[in-house]
């Protein structure tokens, strides 16, 4: 059974940093691209970043480019999102999501339960 | 402002066919598949339609998808009360080199 477990959320001050993690199980992790998708309170979904199965390619939304870094450890089946220079507008539930097809970025067939990040002083 | 445009709300009775539209451009819907997600309150999104018109196993056949040019639609034939949820379209955008979502449509079953 595929499982994605998000962790690392919390309260952080503006300008601060936070690292999210997603523990994956139930599939060959290195075969699939993974992404982070966020949802601000009461708002819609926003794709944040994606990384290829090998980790050799990564893409970012303009809203986080230069501040967030996505990475993965295929030996530990872990996906990470290092977030720095955090702003109030980064407050959201962050979901990790698995690409459905080997080698494809979209769609996402499995999602984590989400990790809440609150940026506030 | 979302890259893909959806109506904020839709409604219908169990005897009707409800459609939700999703409008984009040549860099996203026009050149890539469209995917649809259902999000029930307080839960993670669930994949409903992929590759514009395919249903993952377990998704009822009352849900269907279509695409034409730079627009796509999700249809729900005979919506049930358990279908009350937010629905999002999504696609890859070649110009942005990233995924893009619609703003979401809240479905109410009357």
pLDDT of residue A105: 87
Min distance A103 CA to chain B CA atoms (Å): 14
Phi/psi of residue B43, nearest 5 degrees: -125, 165
pLDDT bracket for residue B36 (50, 70, 90): very high
Taking an 8 Å cut-off on Cβ atoms, the answer to whether B33 and A106 are in contact is: yes
Closest by Cβ to A59, choosing from B88, B97, B102: B97
Question: What's the CA gap between A112 and B12, in Å, rounded?
Answer: 31
Torsion of CA A107, A97, B87, A93, to 10 degrees: -150
Q: How many CA atoms lie within 13 A of B100 on its CB side?
A: 25
Q: pLDDT for B50-105, tens place per residue?
A: 999 999 999 999 999 999 999 999 999 999 999 999 999 999 999 999 999 999 99
Interface probe for B, chosen from A35, A106, A114 (most Cβ of B below 10 Å), is A106
pLDDT of residue B1: 86
Q: How many CB atoms lie within 10 A of CB A88?
A: 10
pLDDT along chain A (121 residues), means of 10: 97 98 97 97 97 96 98 98 98 97 89 98 96
CA proximity to B39, closest of A33, A63, A39: A39
Taking an 8 Å cut-off on Cβ atoms, the answer to whether B101 and A59 are in contact is: no
Taking an 8 Å cut-off on Cβ atoms, the answer to whether A44 and B104 are in contact is: yes
The H or E element spanning position B54 is none
Min distance B80 CA to chain A CA atoms (Å): 23
For range B21-45, the mean pLDDT? 97
pLDDT of residue B48: 97
């Amino acid at each position: 059974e595929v499982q994605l477990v998000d962790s690392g959320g919390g309260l952080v001050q503006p300008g601060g940093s936070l690292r999210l993690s997603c523990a994956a199980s139930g599939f060959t992790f290195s075969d699939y691209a993974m992404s982070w998708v966020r949802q601000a309170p009461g708002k819609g979904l926003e794709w944040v970043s994606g990384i290829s199965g090998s980790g050799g390619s990564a893409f970012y939304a303009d809203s986080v480019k230069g501040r967030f870094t996505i990475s993965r450890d295929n030996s530990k089946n872990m996906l990470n999102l290092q977030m720095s220079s955090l702003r109030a507008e980064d407050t959201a539930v962050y979901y990790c999501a698995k690409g459905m097809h080997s080698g494809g970025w979209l769609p996402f067939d499995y999602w984590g339960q989400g990790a809440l990040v609150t940026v506030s002083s | 402002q979302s890259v893909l445009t959806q109506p904020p709300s839709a409604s219908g009775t169990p005897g009707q066919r409800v459609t939700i539209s999703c409008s984009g451009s040549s860099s996203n819907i026009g050149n890539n598949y469209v995917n649809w997600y259902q999000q029930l309150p307080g839960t993670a999104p669930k994949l409903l339609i992929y590759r514009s018109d395919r249903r993952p196993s377990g998704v009822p056949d009352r849900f269907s998808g279509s695409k034409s040019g730079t627009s796509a639609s999700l249809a729900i034939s005979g919506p049930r009360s358990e279908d009350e949820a937010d629905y999002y379209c999504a696609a890859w955008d070649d110009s942005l080199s990233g995924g893009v979502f619609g703003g979401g449509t809240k479905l109410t079953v009357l």
